[in-house]
A = this chain, B = another copy of it.
């Protein structure tokens, strides 16, 4: 009999940012139930978080190892089906690996891991265990991102020639990590974030978005990577020339010191026949550009859209869906795949659309090459 699938959470206690987002994203479509968690390395905080989420105290654990071990011993109709990992980068690999090895599926925040070695090992582990693994490159969850991808797949643009993808933010335009701001602290700390700051946090979203929509792969890149706030330990700005595998040219820039920018991920794609433009902050609009006739304003819910676009939206045109719904689409698709696995049935292919562990490895390789290029006098670095 169909049932909600059961989630255990690693991280995401009181005051965390991304943990709350994951819980909302998992809740929206009512396919997933939060049943347990190891919300914090601080046991008291973990306990209080469990209360906030109305959990049975016996299923609020002190750490992920305890959680995985204890849940493993619960009856099948009680224990969690998957874990959701919402910790800083250096605590992705441990719970992911252990969960996979113990028969749990995994949702993991991006970037995939602390370093490239972990990423490669996780790919191997997923492939070996056969568990379902979703990485929350959430921006690919937007309906109009899916529409763009489908249009390009169906040749609406002709051969792609140019891509401009950008992700400016301003929140780290001062040395915020010197204050008490937790988000700033770990994201700029090489011991928690890994070799990259802005490039890992947001550059990799831009890379993922560009490759997801275009279906192309970045083949070579040339990066100028900087730390523009004195005292910061990781990069906070990067400007990158791209060459794609089909010969298309591109520009990718990502920044956390662009004062006054909120979360301005955007992409413009130009093909032989037409162009596309999408802005994350106005996510339900996709501009389809032509040279010899008026541009068209594609909108979520208006006209004939691809089935994957339609499946990613919940309300009629003009009722704006946003970041949380896009994020929820990753969870919904993941949940549908897990449900099908549990029920032993084939899943509707429309749901087999979420970022995978391979996308995560790709992102880690991108980060490594970008940082390498930033330090190199060599113009082009192969990816």
Question: In the docked arrangement, what's the CA distance between A322 and B30, Å?
Answer: 18
Contact A262:B318 (CB < 8 A) given known A239-B250, A257-B270: yes
A297 contacts across to B, CB distance below 8 A: 287, 294-297
Question: In the docked arrangement, what's the CA distance between A34 and B23, Å?
Answer: 17
Interfacial residues of chain A within 293-339, with CB under 8 A of chain B in the complex: 293-299, 301-304, 314-325
Task: Assess the B318–A54 pair: CB atoms within 8 A.
Answer: no
Task: Assess the A54–B3 pair: CB atoms within 8 A.
Answer: yes
Pick from B168, B222, B263, B315: contact of A241, CB below 8 A.
B222
Q: Which of A109-117, A119-127, A169-177, A346-354 is found at the contact surface with chain B?
A: A169-177
List the B residue with the shortest CB-CB distance to A142: B320
> A361-383 vs B: 1/0 string, CB under 8 Å?
00000000000000011111000
Contact A317:B162 (CB < 8 A) given known A30-B53, A241-B224, A289-B170: no
A168 contacts across to B, CB distance below 8 A: 164, 268, 270
A155 contacts the other chain (CB 8 A): no
Sorting the interface of chain A by its residue count into under 10, 10 to 19, 20 to 34 or 35 or more gives 35 or more
Task: Assess the A317–B262 pair: CB atoms within 8 A.
Answer: yes
Contact A263:B319 (CB < 8 A) given known A250-B239, A258-B162: yes
Task: Assess the A281–B324 pair: CB atoms within 8 A.
Answer: no
Contact A318:B27 (CB < 8 A) given known A275-B170, A295-B296, A297-B294: no
Task: Assess the A162–B255 pair: CB atoms within 8 A.
Answer: yes
A45 to chain B, nearest CB (A): 17
A165 to chain B, nearest CB (A): 12
List the B residue with the shortest CB-CB distance to A26: B30
| Most chain B beta-carbon contacts within 10 A, residue among A34, A241, A298 | A241
A298 to chain B, nearest CB (A): 5
A299 contacts across to B, CB distance below 8 A: 262, 294-295
A231 contacts across to B, CB distance below 8 A: none
Task: Assess the A264–B170 pair: CB atoms within 8 A.
Answer: no
Task: Assess the B293–A302 pair: CB atoms within 8 A.
Answer: yes
A289 contacts across to B, CB distance below 8 A: 170, 259-261
Question: In the docked arrangement, what's the CA distance between A270 and B166, Å?
Answer: 15
Task: Assess the A275–B258 pair: CB atoms within 8 A.
Answer: yes
Task: Assess the B270–A54 pair: CB atoms within 8 A.
Answer: no
Q: 30 A-B residue contacts at CB 8 Å?
A: A24-B29, A27-B27, A30-B34, A161-B228, A164-B166, A164-B253, A170-B275, A222-B241, A222-B379, A224-B249, A239-B251, A241-B241, A251-B251, A260-B291, A261-B270, A262-B299, A263-B316, A281-B318, A283-B320, A292-B304, A293-B303, A294-B299, A295-B296, A295-B299, A314-B324, A315-B323, A319-B324, A320-B323, A321-B324, A377-B380
